Amino acid sequence: MLVVFLCTIVASRELNLLKRVLANGINPNSKNYDHRPPLHVAASEGLYSMAKLLIEVGSYVFSKDRWGNTPLDDADIGGNKNMIKLLEVARTSQMSCPKLDRQNAKKQRRKFTVLPYHPWDPKEERRQGVVLWVPQTMEELINAAKEQLKHPAGSCILLSENGGKIIDINMISDDQMLFLATET
């Protein structure tokens, strides 16, 4: 809820409130339901002073939202040349700072829950799932889930709560619930 509040502050253009909230240690890289941290909102709305403040307190310019866009992508769409320049300078600065990249990689690490049944099959016995960190590839993810859940050999897929097939590791959000199902 707090990250939604932080994004709302940015969208409302409340710079002084944003300063006060960030001064209390709120993580500027927290993401909302669309995986957008406040920097994405500032960049897409062309809010230069807010974006500058967020970058100064450690906002990560390489973060991607659920559609794979970075704040710079959002700024490009908006066409605000000052915003684009600010984000390009920040990107260069953050690329040359490996310590910052490692810190943000740890902060951005996502976990999810896998349950060993199909989300819509009422006949299947509901069994305990497992919480895993999101690995680098779908193959690693499925193999780890099969191993942890002691799933029988065979071809498996991951499904979202809505029954959609997960085909890309970047489609998984933090704390999402997924279902390991036998591929038919």
Q: How far apart are CA 1 and CA 89, in angstroms?
A: 31
For the chain, what's the residue count? 184
Q: What is the mean pLDDT of residues 116-133?
A: 74
- Chain center to CA of 129: 22
How far is the CA of 70 from the CAs of 38, 46, 59, 65, in angstroms?
12, 14, 12, 7
Q: Same structural domain for residues 162 and 121?
A: yes
Burial per residue of 60-76, b for 16 or more beta-carbon CB atoms within 10 angstroms, e otherwise: bbbbbbeeebbbbbbbe
Q: Same structural domain for residues 68 and 135?
A: no
Using the 8-state DSSP alphabet, how is residue 175 labeled? T
Q: Same structural domain for residues 56 and 88?
A: yes
List, for residues 58-73, the tens digit of each pLDDT value: 888 888 888 889 999 9
User: Residue 177 belongs to a domain with what CATH number?
Assistant: 3.10.20.10
pTM of the complete model beyond 0.85: no
Helix (H) or strand (E) run with residue 72 in it: helix 71-78
Q: Same structural domain for residues 95 and 60?
A: yes
Q: At what angle do helices 48-56 and 15-23 cross, to 10 degrees?
A: 10
Using the 8-state DSSP alphabet, how is residue 124 labeled? S
Domain-ending residue, one of 108, 137, 164: 108
Q: Same structural domain for residues 83 and 171?
A: no
Identify the domain containing residue 130 by its residue range: 111-182
Q: How far apart are CA 10 and CA 54, in angstroms?
A: 10
- Chain center to CA of 114: 18
Q: Same structural domain for residues 124 and 156?
A: yes
Residue pair 165/181 in contact by the 8 Å Cβ criterion: no
Q: Same structural domain for residues 130 and 84?
A: no
Q: What is the distance between the terminal CA atoms of the chain, rounded to a whole angstrom?
A: 38
List, for residues 125-180, the tens digit of each pLDDT value: 667 788 888 888 888 888 888 888 888 777 888 888 778 888 888 888 777 888 88
Q: Same structural domain for residues 17 and 94?
A: yes
Domain-ending residue, one of 78, 108, 138: 108
Q: What is the mean pLDDT of residues 66-87?
A: 91
Domain count, the chain: 2
Q: Same structural domain for residues 122 and 89?
A: no
